[in-house]
Amino acid sequence: MSEPRGKKMALRVMRQVKDHEPASKPEGAPAAPGTLPTSNFEEILNVRVNSLLYDQIKAMVEAGATINDREAPVSIGAFMREALVAYQTESFSLTERPAPGRKIATSFRVHEDTKAFYHGLPDRRRTATLECILRTYLRRRLG
């Protein structure tokens, strides 16, 4: 008895994927603009962010991708990392306030020193401070 056509096709695709070797990048090749190699970010930061703020950041990232803006962050995590590092290095004044509402749990990769900086923020105000940082940085980026 023969196997169903769909199963044969799936097995053929699996063999092709298994045999396929990913193209390797030449040594010393630069990363694409607006991206950083994720291998440099050895720590994962788990945070909670206001859902409306998360949606605003997501819309900005998608708009940047739509118009091929090379300056725009490539992901929501990249934006959050960029904002946290900018606040860590520049210590800009936080002009925006956290908004009440539902929170979304998310995570992104950072360097060890950035994670230590984040965990150095006051425990009970850490989420609110991160929201202030993100809102202020978003306002600065949008002008």
The whole-angstrom distance between residue 34's C-alpha and the CA centroid of its chain comes to: 12
Three-state DSSP at 70 gives coil
Counting the structural domains of the chain, the total is 1
Cα distance between residue 107 and residue 43, in whole Å: 10
Cα distance between residue 80 and residue 134, in whole Å: 7
11 in a structural domain: no
Q: Give tens-digit pLDDT for 6-52.
A: 555 555 555 554 444 444 444 444 444 445 445 577 889 999 999 99
5 in a structural domain: no
125 in a structural domain: yes
Q: How confident is the model at residue 108 (pLDDT cuts 50, 70, 90)?
A: very high
Q: Give the pLDDT of residue 11.
A: 55
Query: Is residue 140 within 8 Å of 132, Cβ to Cβ?
Result: no
Q: Give the pLDDT of residue 36.
A: 47
70 in a structural domain: yes
Q: Give the pLDDT of residue 10.
A: 55
Q: Does 128 have pLDDT greater than 90?
A: yes
Q: Give the pLDDT of residue 134.
A: 94
25 in a structural domain: no
10 in a structural domain: no
Q: Give the pLDDT of residue 74.
A: 86
Q: Which domain holds residue 109?
A: 34-142
Q: Does 56 have pLDDT greater than 50?
A: yes
Cα distance between residue 129 and residue 83, in whole Å: 12
113 in a structural domain: yes
pTM (whole model) above 0.85: no
86 in a structural domain: yes
